[in-house]
A and B are shown apart, each in its own frame.
Chain A
Amino acid sequence: GAVVSQHPSWVICKSGTSVKIECRSLDFQATTMFWYRQFPKQSLMLMATSNEGSKATYEQGVEKDKFLINHASLTLSTLTVTSAHPEDSSFYICSARDPPGGTSSTDTQYFGPGTRLTVL
């Protein structure tokens, strides 16, 4: 299957700082990537859909000015948590859709290993 990487795997930061998380598709080009957040004992919640070369589409309730997404190339999407606060502490997971290009109901999402963010 397709391989997706994330960096860093974990990060601890002080309240008020910004944190950038990278998501890369290693063996295929991903025109669409997704960013999820998962709190303990809960399922994945989609935050936004990242499309290469265009603005991200955010889910209802997700602050686009707080969670900045950039998808500048076919293999890299970044999520920046700006002015992070303790309530932003969570497990952030990206996924990339394969095959790239158009959309189909049979398209499969492959997940990166996740980034655990702790805001002190």
Chain B
Amino acid sequence: QKEVEQNSGPLSVPEGAIASLNCTYSDRGSQSFFWYRQYSGKSPELIMSIYSNGDKEDGRFTAQLNKASQYVSLLIRDSQPSDSATYLCAVNMRVPNDYKLSFGAGTTVTVRA
């Protein structure tokens, strides 16, 4: 079982619609979860972090966390063409004396104008 799994893409949505991205993780003890956006040829950019169960909203982005289900999601409201990118789910996993980020494979989103 992979440490972090994301729903397979690519995901194509019309401009103005909601894009929904899902992610599950294997380590029940994980406490911190991140969504990064990566444009083609560029490095990842942090867009959301979430640590507590429930919803966290930041502008058009909403992250949702359910630790009991080991599930985290990202909603992009009013999708814009500039949102077209690969979205990486990352989980901070405990290793001896430290933490390291484990990434999902990413979901590529295309917003159609």
Contact = CB atoms under 8 A, between A and B. Distances in A.
Interface residue SS majority, chain B:
strand
A106 B100 contact: no
Chain B interface extent, by class: 20 to 34
A43 B103 contact: yes
A114 B43 contact: yes
Contacts of A49: 98, 100
Given A108-B34, A108-B49, A43 B42 contact: no
A42 B105 CA distance: 7
A104 B51 CA distance: 12
Interface in B66-95: 88, 92, 94
Interface residues of A, number: 23
Given A43-B88, A43-B103, A103 B44 contact: no
Interface of B: 30-32, 34, 36, 41-46, 49, 51, 88, 92, 94, 97-101, 103-106
